[in-house]
């Protein structure tokens, strides 16, 4: 489950930052609320909670989806921080475009 969260978070952070090079630098405490068993359908939802100079923090929520009745139950939540890196693995700024996108998103959700 942790590997899925890391992979989903990295993909979301890379998409948000318009770059394929994002590395995980921190996974906050993960809260497991319900069990996940083999064969369960899991959906992972994300939201950017912060953008730094070189980093993006993403809140993730994994839900167990029932194909029988369409209900979803939250199975775990966590927060991951990713850093944009260059080809040598050194941190580089996410860019003004990403900062602006986050500010627009933040303003839209606060209304």
What pLDDT does 107 receive? 85
Closest C-alpha among 67, 68, 47 to residue 57: 47
45 to each of 75, 87, 88, 106, how far by Cα in Å?
12, 29, 30, 17
Whole-model pTM: value is 0.88
Mean pLDDT in order along the chain per 10 residues (111 residues): 96 95 96 91 96 96 94 97 96 92 83 61
Whichever domain contains 60, its CATH number is 3.10.129.10
Number of compact structural domains in the chain: 1
What pLDDT does 63 receive? 97
What pLDDT does 5 receive? 97
What pLDDT does 111 receive? 61
CA atoms within 13 A on the CB side of 55: 12
What residue numbers bound the domain in which 32 lies? 2-110
What pLDDT does 105 receive? 80
Q: Are 93 and 22 in contact (CB under 8 A)?
A: no
């Amino acid at each position: 489950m942790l590997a899925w969260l890391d992979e989903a978070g990295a993909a979301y952070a890379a998409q948000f930052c318009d770059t394929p090079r994002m590395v995980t630098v921190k996974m906050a405490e993960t809260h497991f609320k319900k069990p996940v068993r083999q064969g369960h359908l899991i959906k992972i939802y994300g939201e950017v909670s912060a953008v730094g100079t070189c980093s993006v923090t993403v809140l993730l929520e994994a839900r167990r989806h029932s194909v029988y009745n369409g209900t979803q139950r939250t199975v775990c939540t966590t927060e991951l921080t990713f850093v944009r890196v260059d080809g040598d693995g050194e941190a580089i700024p996410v860019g003004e475009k990403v900062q602006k996108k986050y500010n627009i998103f933040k303003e839209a959700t606060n209304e």
